[in-house]
Amino acid sequence: MYGDLEQLPAAARSGDPSQFDQYLAETGQDYILGGPLHEQRAHVRFTGPFHGQMVVWDCEFVTLASIGAERNFIEIAEAGPQGMSLRVGLDIARVDASAIEKMIIMIRNYKNLHYGRHEYGEPHSPVNPAP
């Protein structure tokens, strides 16, 4: 699942959903990581629907604590050569394979995705350790 994007085949870097889906099918993967998996963030590439068509999501997935954000969010920007730019921040302790798989399901099932930033849920309350 992990690879330096520059060293992967062109289909793995493609913003074309057909080419990217074919690469995923050939390699038996549901998504790829565009770099090393860190506990607080990951670069994840996967396909899913957006405005009635399939797209490649080029996603930065982060914990709220890692960026100092207060609420869960989904942020979608314009498409680039590697697909739709997506940033997802969740109030989770760490980014791991399970969290990535759940985030992908959430994005694929979310019916009202739109451009811009959408915040939701209760504000994040960082835990301050006792002195």
pLDDT in tens, 41-77: 999 999 999 999 999 999 999 999 999 999 999 999 9
> Would 129 be classed as within a structural domain?
no
C-beta of residue 16 within 8 angstroms of C-beta of residue 56: yes
Q: Does 42 reside within a domain? A: yes
pTM of the model: 0.88
Is residue 40, in this structure, part of any structural domain at all? yes
- Res 131: pLDDT: 44
Question: Euclidean distance between the first and final Cα of the chain, in Å?
Answer: 41
Does the pLDDT value for residue 126 go beyond 80? no
Residue 3 has pLDDT above 60, yes or no: no
Query: How many structural domains does the chain have?
Result: 1
Query: Quick check: is 19 in a domain?
Result: yes
Domain presence at residue 64: yes
Q: How confident is the model at residue 112 (pLDDT cuts 50, 70, 90)?
A: confident
Ranges of H-type helices in the chain: 10-13, 17-27, 64-67, 97-109
* Residue 71 lies in domain: 5-120
